[in-house]
Structure 1
Amino acid sequence: MSDWNLPWEGGCRCGQVRLKISAPPLLTMACHCTGCQRMTASAFSLSAAIPSEGFSVTKGEPVIGGLHGAARHYFCPYCMSWMFTRPEGMDWFVNLRATMLDDPSWFTPFVETWTSEKLPWAATPAVHSFAKLPEFHEYKELTDAYAARAAKPPPSRRA
């Protein structure tokens, strides 16, 4: 685990909410769904699935935004940066918006989802693509493959 150069820190755009990551990601993703497109004002959202025990808010109190549904999207209450998501019923991980890290330069999406809704020109270097979401039974193979092949932050770029 030491080759991940943990812990990492991150925060919202204004700095009122800060995060600490002390466990490597289970998977990195780009989501092309129209919901993510609208919430990011971009072609897709980028996220890293962080084990819940390796994720903490160290400053501030994020608020729930977005659609307030089963996927609880957390934002900075001041600058409204979309910071992370906690999917209902999947409490073992937090989907961190990768660009909230102080140094996201190492990040590469391993999986892309909802390609059925992607903008025609949008492309990522993801190794695996899914028209919607992977089947639940596919995640074990995906996380194992990611663990074996993941891009890791170099020591000189540690936040």
Structure 2
Amino acid sequence: MSVEVVCREGGCRCNRVRFTVSMKPIITMACHCTGCQKMSSSAFSLSALVPQAGFTINQGEPVIGGLHGAARHYFCGYCMSWLFTRPQGIDDLINLRATMLDDASDYVPFMETWTSEKLPWASIPAIHSFAQLPESEEFLHLLQAYAEFAAAAANR
């Protein structure tokens, strides 16, 4: 797995909303919670946590959808593709739906969360797995482990 390419383009299904990611993710993940299952119409959602400074909307205007709560989920207002989430209290990060990138093949999930709600047949190659969410202290260690993992993958 290599996410060495620092500039990626992406967009919704109808391409009315287009964006650029110009910074590497700080971690990649899959969430198996039933909310993500329903919002993604899939067994899990794939995401890449990227710095806000490295994320630019180039075309279109995403709208807030999903649950209208503390976490703001952004969609294309036309095709309703789920594009990204702005996590509550973490304004400097974007939780991008990795599959919205034009080429997401390098964005293999490093960790998976909410496995307590996952469908019994859903299986992914994540290295770290959590029944719910990792504790804050553990998440900091995961970010460091991901940085080392991504650097090693880039050198292969």
Band of TM-score, shorter chain: over 0.9
Identity of aligned residues (%): 65
Q: Please, which runs of 5 or more residues in structure 2 have no aligned partner?
A: none
Distance apart, 1:138 and its partner CA: 1.3
Give the corresponding residue for 2:83. 83
| 1:146 maps to amino acid | Y
Distance apart, 1:4 and its partner CA: 1.6
Divergent runs of 4+, >2 A:
none
Secondary structure at the counterpart of residue 68 of structure 2: coil
| 2:111 maps to amino acid | V
Coordinate RMSD, CA, aligned? 1.4
CA distance in 2, matches of 1:35, 1:140: 24
Judge conservation of contact 2:16–2:59 (CA < 8 Å) in 1.
Answer: yes
CA distance in 1, matches of 2:137, 2:70: 21
Q: TM-score, normalised by structure 1?
A: 0.91
Give the corresponding residue for 1:157. none
Distance apart, 1:41 and its partner CA: 1.1
Q: TM-score, normalised by structure 2?
A: 0.93
Paired residues in the alignment total: 151
CA distance in 2, matches of 1:23, 1:138: 23
Judge conservation of contact 2:63–2:74 (CA < 8 Å) in 1.
Answer: yes
Distance apart, 1:51 and its partner CA: 0.8
Distance apart, 1:107 and its partner CA: 1.5
Give the corresponding residue for 1:126. 126
CA distance in 1, matches of 2:22, 2:139: 22
Q: Please, which runs of 5 or more residues in structure 1 have no aligned partner?
A: 155-159
